[in-house]
Amino acid sequence: MPLVPVMGQQTMRALELRAYDGVSLVHVNNRPVPTPGPGEVLVRVHSTPVSAADLLFLHGRYGAPRPLPVIPGLECSGMVVQAGSGLLARALVGRRVACSAAGRPDGTWAEYVCVSARTCIPLRSFIGFEQGASLLSSGIAAWALMDLARARGSMAIAHTAGDSALGKMLAQLGLRRKVPMLHVIERAEQGEALAGLGATQILNSSTTLYPQQLAAAFENLGISVVVEANAGPHTDLLLRALPPGGTMLVCGSQPEADCTIDPSEIIFGRKKMEGFILSDWLARTSYARAVQAGLVVQRILSSEVRTESTAKLPLDSYHKALDLMFRGRVNDGQVMFSLLRAT
């Protein structure tokens, strides 16, 4: 299918990964503007985050490695400027959206990206592009994880997302749905942020009493589902604390940390460890359900959970952005590539 120019533009600037070794082989390059196929839309990118999942991708540890060279980036916000065939795709033209490029040949660290129309969530007028850039990985992922936990009949839920955007959204959804929640943190200031949102059950995993407190909290609250957002050295303790038949939903990991578990907990405790990928949930659920989740979490974002960017950088400053993430210099907020597009 021939390239269809977008407002006369046939090429775009993009970050290109040429080897799965992290920072060193990422370069700015010119690429053809992609053309949307059936059920797809072309999004003019405004903001796209640099996340822990992106760091895993740069090392070839996020799903099956894609053929190189590849444009990284898992999600973004922007404007739909072109559509392939299909009613939904055509209906989105001219809309501001948050979208996911998970599983696509190329990602969002570019001026334009082609995505499935089903992964596009319209942004409300009160949500800016910057807030919308990580709407799926924080807001809609939290909604989906809550649904999965409740479907497993848990009286209460534990999570290790701390005071990240995902952790704050889980806290707010738990309060709204009156689901008791245990928030596992690594630093005291994370607890202060969660307490400010109304969280009451908070445990610091860096204290010496953490293992005993964790087991007691699971028993007292009736926790049978854990959302493990940072699989690493403490994952085994969480698995041990689960009651027989409990479930751990693993949705993230620490890039450089070892994660070991005792298999007897799974074999004899009949406990389950399940991987969670938002793109799988989006594929299984109806588009109307995904949009409903998007509406709810956007209301929360606008009034209760405000996320701030630590750094807003152009694509040319990719080495600075990756350095901020790799060296752990971001304690709250996030790093964002901002392409400074007009609405």
Is the confidence at residue 317, as pLDDT, over 50? yes
**Is there a contact between 55 and 326 (Cβ–Cβ < 8 Å)?**
yes
Domains of the chain: 11-134+307-338 (3.90.180.10), 137-279 (3.40.50.720)
pLDDT in tens, 10-59: 899 999 999 998 766 788 999 999 999 999 999 999 999 998 888 889 98
Q: How far is Cα 65 from Cα 218, in angstroms, rounded to an integer?
A: 37
Average confidence score pLDDT of the chain: 89
* pLDDT for residue 208 is more than 90: yes
Percent of the chain with pLDDT over 90: 71
Q: Identify the bridge partners of residue 157 per DSSP, sorted by sequence position.
A: 181, 225
User: CA torsion sign, 138 to 141 to 145 to 146?
Assistant: positive
Give the pLDDT of residue 340: 61
- β-strand pairing of 181-185 with 223-228: unpaired
E strand or H helix at 293, and its extent? helix 287-303
Torsion of CA 152, 156, 161, 164, to 10 degrees: 120
Confidence of residue 327 (pLDDT cuts 50, 70, 90): low
* Residue-wise pLDDT tens digits, 139-187: 999 999 999 999 998 899 999 999 988 999 999 999 999 999 999 999 9
Mean pLDDT of 69-83: 96
Is the pLDDT at 1 greater than 50? The verdict is no
